[in-house]
A and B are shown apart, each in its own frame.
Chain A
Amino acid sequence: MSSENITVQKLRERFGERVLDVRTFRDEITVIVPREDIFAINQFLRDDPELRYDFLVDLCGVDNLGTDPRFMVVYHLYSFQRNERIRIKAGVPKDDCTIASMVPLWKGADWLEREAYDMYGIRFDGHPKLVRILNTDDFDGHPLRKDFPLRGERAAEEER
């Protein structure tokens, strides 16, 4: 498409069919990529002189219970110079719940990845210290997973 966004164009040029899907909603662009290439893609987006997405706005996990892959890691990137935003998503299956850590690229990813680990159980390879951040250190389970009971597993057992 000639009117396609420059980011999507360059991504398709560079990564070809590894750009799994591109969705647009009003001005928002979402690119879905496989998790094996997520580090290379994010590095390209950050370092390419025409794109320069130098700010990681947010990194979060999503639990889509019932779909495969079950989890999704969503990256929101922003370019200060160009005032452009983009959303990158990568699917993470439940059995091999790992994905590359973005800490080498953006220091801000540190605590964001710890939160995704604490809440969903997604492990980030290469994270300097992947421990729980929001829940107590001795907490069992990953609360934001859709099969985690609201009041906690101990309370759910007591109710039974």
Chain B
Amino acid sequence: MLGPTIITSTIDKVVNWCRQYSFWPFPFGTACCAIELMAALAPDYDMARFGAERTSFTPRQADVLVVAGTITNKMAPALLRIYHQIPEPRWVIAMGACACSGGPFNTYSVVQGIDTLIPVDFYIPGCPPRPEGLIDAIVKLQKHIQSDTVLMAAG
């Protein structure tokens, strides 16, 4: 109904600035990639300087779902439930080969990529990806949030 105006674009700027520089990740770490996720959060690579100060272990207070590790068929319903419990706006990062595509495990029990279950915004290749890889995804996520608008979110 109402198009973008100077008011809404200012609101956009403020809201997006808040969201991108203070996103709280939900670390859905199941396997080895979780170790690299921890390394990225630790002092040496320090994801806190990008705003991920508080990793939320409850989906209700999280912004980004970082799936780090292999997702098995048995884990899939839990992943779906957690994803749906994160309030919008939410983003999903698939970290590592297993989350992106099942990785080396093309077997009877592994989900061949979480994008078969939930929409993914960013894929990080690697087995495991270096912490810099995760930080790269975080920075791209921040730029992506910059382009969001309050108008679209309401529609």
Interface residue ranges of A79-138 to B (CB < 8 Å): 134-136
- Inter-subunit contact B74/A134 (CB<8 Å): yes
Answer yes or no: A155 CB below 8 A from chain B CBs: yes
- Inter-subunit contact B107/A152 (CB<8 Å): yes
- Inter-subunit contact A152/B74 (CB<8 Å): no
Number of contact residues on B: which range applies?
under 10
- Inter-subunit contact B107/A150 (CB<8 Å): yes
Answer yes or no: A143 CB below 8 A from chain B CBs: yes
Shortest distance from the beta carbon of A149 to any chain B beta carbon, whole Å:
8
Chain B facing A: main interface SS = loop
- Inter-subunit contact B74/A136 (CB<8 Å): yes
CB contacts between A and B, total, < 8 Å: 22
Q: Nearest B residue to A138 by beta-carbon distance?
A: B73
- Inter-subunit contact A151/B73 (CB<8 Å): no
Q: Nearest A residue to B74 by beta-carbon distance?
A: A136
- Inter-subunit contact A135/B109 (CB<8 Å): yes
* Residues 27-52 of chain B, each 1 if its beta carbon lies under 8 Å from chain A, else 0: 00000000000000000000000000
- Inter-subunit contact A151/B74 (CB<8 Å): no
Apart from A143-B109, A150-B107, list 10 A-B contacts with CB within 8 A.
A134-B109, A135-B73, A136-B73, A136-B74, A151-B106, A151-B107, A152-B107, A152-B108, A152-B109, A153-B108
